[in-house]
Structure 1
Amino acid sequence: MSRPDGVAWHTFDGTRSLATRGKPVYGEQTDGEWRRWDPHRSKLGATFEKGLETGLRNGDSVLYLGAANGTTVSHVADFAGPTYAVEFAPRPARDLVAVARTRDRLFPLLKDARTPETYAHVVESELDAIVQDVATRGQARVANENRRFLADDGRLIAAIKARSEDVTREPPAVFEEVLESLTAEYEVLETERLEPYHDDHLAVVARPL
């Protein structure tokens, strides 16, 4: 598995887990400067655990869509370069701001990932990666609309939530439809279901066309 140098295997209380170096948040396990990256609390962490080739590297510039309270994006900011964290809901966004206070590369944005024109004046172009974890219908549309920020050799790393798209349909049918929609802007390189860490989720790695 290819992963950034800043993401490493480490042992916490006898259990081997992925970890990053940084200030801990929300009571996670630590060992010195290492903080455990719990795949049950992070779709991106589960994507790494599953062994997908994300293309992420130390120092990459990242747009994170659906940052919530900042658990996963704080790990990203531990190894990445400038990291723009978009979150729409005010309550988790307040937590995200608190997490960002101890990370000078993390920039929280109280914005809606479905309307990238509202933060286009802040987010730099030619980014190395977009990480997407949004609980909304139209997840392919969100990825396609935000492609404008991605460099031609960049990567999209998305966690597609079947139940957010349509609770009445079986996940494989939902995933097929989302992947087809993504082909308007991306070439899909790799996919993997995220069980047992996250039910009815599909990890997707893609590159822009």
Structure 2
Amino acid sequence: MSEDLPAGVERHAFDGTERLATRGESVYGEPTDGEWRAWNPARSKLGAMLELEVETGLEGGETVLYLGAASGTTVSHVADFSGPTYAVEFAPRPARDLLEAAGSRSRLFPLLADARKPETYAHVVEGGVDAVVQDVATRGQARVALENRRFLADDGRLLLAVKARSEDVTREPADVFAEVCSELEAGYELLERRRLDAYHDDHLGVVARPR
């Protein structure tokens, strides 16, 4: 299988199965192979996008703003292969776990903040980041992406996992996805859309760049 993975993301064998992996300390009990740790796509929307060969535009070494970092499952992998990685999480309990994940990662900077209020962390996150990765469980996911567009470099990328059930549990996911994508076009050019149902029910992966 031909893949275009970011530098620092490789495939390694874990229990006889080839899986995506990054180099770093274990965070959530994932299998390890020496310095390498398995990246579970069933627990990571970005991992699922890479498994499904979505063209994320990530090359490795980027400055990243990660929205919805939770306890650090995915953002710890991102920090393993990226440059400075700002991890925004609103809930105090998972933020404590995020702090632990950051303990061994000098490039990971946890921020206890609300992704819907980027003005609260604008003094920390300088503009011109290479990628905004968004995985937030809230209504108004397009609005969050639009509000955080200010941080993206002109040639940067938005990597968004749209959660249909967080927007409206009563509607068909396809209708929710269409509406969110339409809203995104107010500030982004959409480059790729891919359903993530192979790993995450009722989720859509979106790659976009700022207009």
The reply to whether TM is greater than 0.5 is yes
1:155–1:207 Cα contact (<8 Å) kept: yes
1:102 and 1:153 mapped to 2: Cα distance? 30
Structure 1 residue runs of 4 or more that deviate by more than 4 Å after TM superposition: none
2:64 and 2:96 mapped to 1: Cα distance? 20
Match of 2:70 in 1: 68
1:25–1:99 Cα contact (<8 Å) kept: yes
1:201 and 1:52 mapped to 2: Cα distance? 14
Structure 2 unaligned runs (5+)?
none
1:2–1:55 Cα contact (<8 Å) kept: no
Residue 2 of structure 1, CA deviation? 2.4
1:99 and 1:46 mapped to 2: Cα distance? 21
**What number of residue pairs does the alignment pair up?**
209
Structure 1 unaligned runs (5+)?
none
TM-score normalised over the length of structure 2 = 0.98
Match of 2:22 in 1: 20
2:162 and 2:95 mapped to 1: Cα distance? 21
2:77 and 2:126 mapped to 1: Cα distance? 21
1:62 and 1:84 mapped to 2: Cα distance? 6
Q: 2:196 aligns with which of 190, 194, 197?
A: 194
Residue 85 of structure 1, CA deviation? 0.1
Q: Deviations over 1:29-75 (max 9, x none)?
A: 00111100000010000010010000112210000000000010000
Percent identity over the alignment?
Answer: 73
**Letter in structure 1 aligned against 2:194:** E
RMSD: 0.6
Is residue 93 from structure 1 mapped to residue 90 from structure 2 by the alignment? no
1:26 and 1:115 mapped to 2: Cα distance? 28
TM-score normalised over the length of structure 1 = 0.99
